[in-house]
Amino acid sequence: AAAKGGFTSVVLMANTRPPVDNADTLREVLEKGQKTGIHVYTCANVTMGMKGEALTDMEALSRMGAAGFTDDGIPLMDEKLLREALQTAAKLKKPVSLHEEDPAYITNNGIHAGEAAAHYGIGGSPREAETSMVERDIRIALTENADLSIQHISTKEAVELVRQAKKQSCHIFAEATPHHFTLTQKAAVTYGTMAKMNPPLREEADRMAIIEGLRDGTIDMIATDHAPHSEEEKAKAITEAPSGI
């Protein structure tokens, strides 16, 4: 799909089955990538099995060609483990890329806890799920001088946290998706599960804050966060269908 779309390089996330938490899987992914005709890079996982319990052998995976480290889609809740990961990544000069949603705040993922959640009569996912994690992870990364990338930023508060952090350090980065700076929670009301994603589409003020973040350099990258699902999967109820666009 990337090649047909004119993309010459892609960076894969590691939230796959099996996860990219070991040498054999990493090697398989890179070898398959060499057959595509484009440049395929991949991250490896931060933790084994993306369970947030034990770190992968980050040094070995880095030597084998991992572009960075992520448990994309699953937040790293253990602060001590995160600090260890950032310390190791700093030595390796590789970024750690984090999905920032604290499940403790979320009743139903993929739908903003606002107009969209009210439309479906569910609790949804509030902005605090993102902002609390962004604040914590930036704070730790700043103390460790580690390259931290905030993935698919969706709230105005998180954009501002990154903006202020960049004034203190050159090691803080952020990315935004096309859907988060073009759509709002109204799309989730109109298109249902087709517009369900993690983090969810939020409010117009958030959309505009992301655009401003891109304009002023607070947000460094536009990333697809490409998450394809079948029609059968997306045809499920709003609380059961998988997130992704």
> Where in the sequence numbering do the catalytic residues fall?
225
204: exposed, middle or buried (Cβ count in 10 Å: 0-12, 13-18, 19+) = exposed
Which residue in the block uniquely carries the two structure tokens 């009210």? 118
Short-list 49, 38, 42, 53, CA closest to 12: 42
| 12 in Cβ contact with 40 (< 8 Å) | yes
**230: which residues sit within 8 A by CB, 6+ positions away?**
none
* Nearest-angstrom CA–CA distance, 239 and 237: 5
